[in-house]
Amino acid sequence: MIRYALTCAKDHAFDSWFQSAAAFDKLQTAGMVTCAVCGDTEVKKSIMAPRVRTSEATSETPLSAPASPAEQALRELRTQIEANSENVGTNFAAEARAMHDGTAPERSIYGEAKIQDAKALIEDGIPVVPLPFGPNRKTN
């Protein structure tokens, strides 16, 4: 196993473990390595120092620096949304429209929509808000 310090195009820093350097390269080429904060697939390795365990180090030593307040708030927001809303995936636009039309039960939902579908919802007076993070995708 190998741990890489990674950075996305939006400058979010995070760490992830991979089976090998070749496994990282394969997953990155396939677009399966995504930012842990925003879901961006434009991820690159950051410069990192090797972790050397000294006799003073304990198992409680953190592997990475603590998240910034903004990153922590974003994670908390994501946790709240995922815990209290239904993920309708790529059916978001259709579900939002059905709820607005009264053909589907009212509830909190989140998911993915193409930009033209989201614009059409807004133009039709259907309240939607873009989320500041992308969908969760398994990276490794």
For residue 59, is it within any domain? no
Residue 38 lies in a domain: yes
Looking at residue 131, its pLDDT comes to 86
Residue 100 maps to a domain: yes
Cβ(35)–Cβ(8) below 8 Å: yes
pLDDT score, position 132: 83
User: Could you tell me if residue 58 is inside a domain?
Assistant: no
Is position 117 within any domain?
A: yes
For the chain (length 140 residues), average pLDDT per consecutive 10?
Answer: 87 86 88 86 80 57 65 88 92 96 95 92 92 70
Q: Say what the pLDDT of residue 107 is.
A: 95
In a domain, 24, yes or no: yes
Number of domains in the chain: 2
Q: What is the Cα–Cα distance from 44 to 113, expressed in whole angstroms?
A: 27
Task: State the residue range of the domain holding 93.
Answer: 85-123
Whether residue 139 lies inside any domain: the answer is: no
Nearest of 89, 83, 63, 64 to residue 12 by alpha carbon: 64
Residue 134 token pair: 């992308």
Q: Take residue 136 and report the two structure tokens written for it.
A: 């969760």
Kindly state whether residue 76 falls inside one of the protein's structural domains: no
CB 15 within 8 A of CB 49: no
